[in-house]
Amino acid sequence: MKNNTRHWVVLGGGGFVGTNLCRRLTRAGVQVVAFGRSSGFPDALRGCRWVSGDFFNTDDLAAVLENAEYVVHAISTVTPAKSNELPIKDVEENLIGSLRLIHLCIAKGVKRLIVLSSGGTVYGPDVAVPTQEDATNHPLCSYGVVKLAVEKYLAIYRHQGLLDSVVLRVANPYGPYQQPKGQGVIAATVQKILLSQPAEIWGDGTVTRDYIYIDDVVDAIMAAARLDDDSAPRLYNIGSGIGRTINEVIDSLCKIHGPIEVLRQPGRTLDVPVSVLSIHRAQQFLGWTPRTDWQEGLSATYGWFSEHWLNR
């Protein structure tokens, strides 16, 4: 006999956002299944059910979605920085893979699919700052194009009444359990300075981003699951609403660590000069607002890396 208990499924449960979300859900007494190829921090997932599987294997994905009520899609196989070198891989894996997930969610009767999109790449340059959800979209990298395409497909299925979904355009998350490679300037910088290596800055350091602490991202995901207004929007920016340059990030870390050596690299064409999100819609409809002070979140991140990463 099948177990008909409904539960959360976190796809990418072993990743940065997934690990933090699973930990929160477990502490709240929620039945949660973490799915992925591997977990960077398996001990952190004690208390939830870990399922090792391949997102691109239909049988693996269909099995883990059995009896799922809320599904969180937090998987991507490319980073913004590498996506223009791998656009075919990006489409074949992340766009088609997400479409396959949508169809399986429909077949399995999932109540709501929550998809993590990108607040930093879907808009592109030449938009008003802080940027609202209805701004024009001109992504500069394949990563943003694919995220936007997934959003549009979700809108089609919502319009047809086949699957309820909520899209969260997350800015630049940082915090514990982030892998300091590929994506995440704060994690990469903290790792460098703890290893007594120079922190890398691309360009003159004036590139401006909206950084959001991971606990606030988890709050937003859980608020998206609680949303019970059928007329409410299904697309939300999730950020701090405050822009900080890379130079300011370094200055803030200096207050924690002390002087930091900096290695300046040439600027990159894929970097939007300024990306800061308007979070008014999420505040209005999700009842969500970021609650973590910038310097406190940065100190917590630095402390976690000092305790956990150097000993790996």
Q: Which residue in 149, 148, 172, 138 sits closest to 249, CA to CA?
A: 172
Query: How do residues 10-34 score in pLDDT, each as one tens digit?
Result: 999 999 999 999 999 999 999 999 9
What's the angle, vertex CA 111, arms to CA 107 and CA 113, rounded to 5? 85
**Residue 132 resides in a domain:** yes
Q: What CATH number is given to the structural domain containing 132?
A: 3.40.50.720
Local structure of 78: helix, strand or coil? coil
Task: Write phi, then psi, for 98 (nearest 5 degrees).
Answer: -70, -35
Q: Which domain holds residue 100?
A: 7-174+213-239
**Residue 199 resides in a domain:** no
**Residue 235 resides in a domain:** yes
Query: How do residues 223-258 score in pLDDT, each as one tens digit?
Result: 999 999 999 999 999 999 999 999 999 999 999 999
Local structure of 240: helix, strand or coil? coil
Q: Are strands 208-213 and 243-245 parallel, antiparallel or unpaired?
A: antiparallel
**Residue 251 resides in a domain:** no
Instruction: Indicate the DSSP class of residue 239.
Output: S
**Residue 42 resides in a domain:** yes
Give kind and range of the element (H or E) at residue 18.
helix 16-27
Q: What does the pLDDT read at residue 309?
A: 73
Q: Which residue in 158, 151, 286 sits closest to 225, CA to CA?
A: 286
Query: How do residues 128-165 score in pLDDT, each as one tens digit?
Result: 999 999 999 999 999 999 999 999 999 999 999 999 99
Sheet of 208-213, strands arranged across: 172-174, 208-213, 243-245
Residue 3 scores a pLDDT above 90:
no
Q: State how many domains the chain has.
A: 1
**Residue 205 resides in a domain:** no
Q: What does the pLDDT read at residue 201?
A: 87
**Residue 179 resides in a domain:** no
Cα 33 from Cα 20, distance rounded (Å): 13
C-alpha to C-alpha distances, 302 to 45, 111, 180, nearest whole angstrom: 21, 38, 12
Cα 248–chain centre separation? 22
Calculate mean pLDDT across residues 70-95: 95
pTM check: above 0.85: yes
CA atoms within 13 A on the CB side of 268: 16
Residue 1 scores a pLDDT above 50:
no
